[in-house]
């Protein structure tokens, strides 16, 4: 079977079963549960590109993470869970909120960084953040007019928070770049492994 997968799958195809056939060394978007397991124990694996994109953006803008309070809103296997692991590797004090967490402000109001990846338009409001908060909006929601919006109420949050990423043109753009980077890294590693195999025969 091909070691690649495009999601969502057609009706009747169980993506949770299909992704298990992706070879970890070719799993450029961290879809195979084995990739997430390797990530959890700190071993080399491709993280889901969107989760890594958040880290890359924070690093690029020199947003400190070590010892800082970071709240991730959303616990998906694509963003929330792997991102929380990547944040822990950066020594951030990480909290993951979800639909049973109660009022978001209880957690987000005092956070240094808030990452919203819940798939709900306007979920995070200006009253949920403080003036020192850096807010990363991972959401991509299609409105009735075909335009895109994130999970953050941009008008209210941007007037309070220290920084807010745009949708579109924020995390999504970095995600695309990282998928290309992961592809080239995977190809380079497999080429190296093939050369080693030939030399050791």
Q: Any bridge partners for residue 113, and if so which?
A: 70, 134
Outline where the chain has alpha helix (H).
Answer: 15-18, 33-40, 49-60, 80-89, 105-108, 154-158, 171-199
CATH number for 49-172 (one of 1.20.1070.10, 1.20.120.420, 3.40.50.720, 1.10.357.10): it is 3.40.50.720
Each residue's pLDDT tens digit in the chain (201 positions)?
Answer: 334 455 667 787 777 778 888 888 899 999 999 999 999 998 989 999 999 999 999 999 999 999 999 999 999 999 999 999 999 999 999 999 999 999 999 999 999 999 999 999 999 999 999 999 999 999 999 999 999 999 999 999 999 999 999 999 999 999 999 999 999 999 998 888 777 665 566
The pLDDT score that the predictor gives to residue 170 is 95
pTM of the full predicted structure? Answer: 0.87
23 conformational bin, left if phi > 0, alpha if psi -120 to 50, beta if neither: beta
**pLDDT given for residue 7 in this prediction:** 64
- What pLDDT does 4 receive? 45
Delimit the domains of the chain by residue range. Answer: 11-46, 49-172
């Amino acid at each position: 079977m091909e070691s690649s997968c495009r999601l969502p799958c057609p009706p009747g195809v169980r993506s949770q079963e299909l992704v298990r056939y992706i070879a970890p060394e070719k799993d450029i978007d961290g879809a195979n549960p084995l990739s997430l397991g390797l990530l959890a124990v700190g071993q080399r694996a491709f993280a889901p590109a969107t989760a890594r994109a958040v880290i890359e953006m924070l690093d690029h803008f020199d947003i400190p993470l070590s010892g800082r309070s970071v709240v991730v809103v959303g616990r998906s296997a694509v963003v929330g869970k792997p991102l929380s692991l990547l944040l822990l590797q950066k020594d951030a004090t990480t909290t993951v909120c979800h639909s049973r967490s109660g009022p978001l402000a209880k957690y987000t109001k005092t956070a240094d960084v808030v990452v919203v990846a819940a798939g709900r338009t306007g979920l995070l409001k200006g009253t949920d953040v403080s003036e020192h908060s850096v807010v990363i909006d991972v959401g991509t929601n299609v409105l009735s007019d075909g335009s895109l919006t994130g999970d953050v109420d941009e008008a209210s949050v941007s007037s309070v928070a220290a920084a807010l990423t745009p949708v579109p043109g924020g995390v999504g753009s970095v995600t695309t770049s990282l998928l290309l980077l992961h592809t080239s890294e995977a190809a380079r590693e497999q080429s190296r492994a093939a050369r080693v195999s030939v030399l050791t025969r």
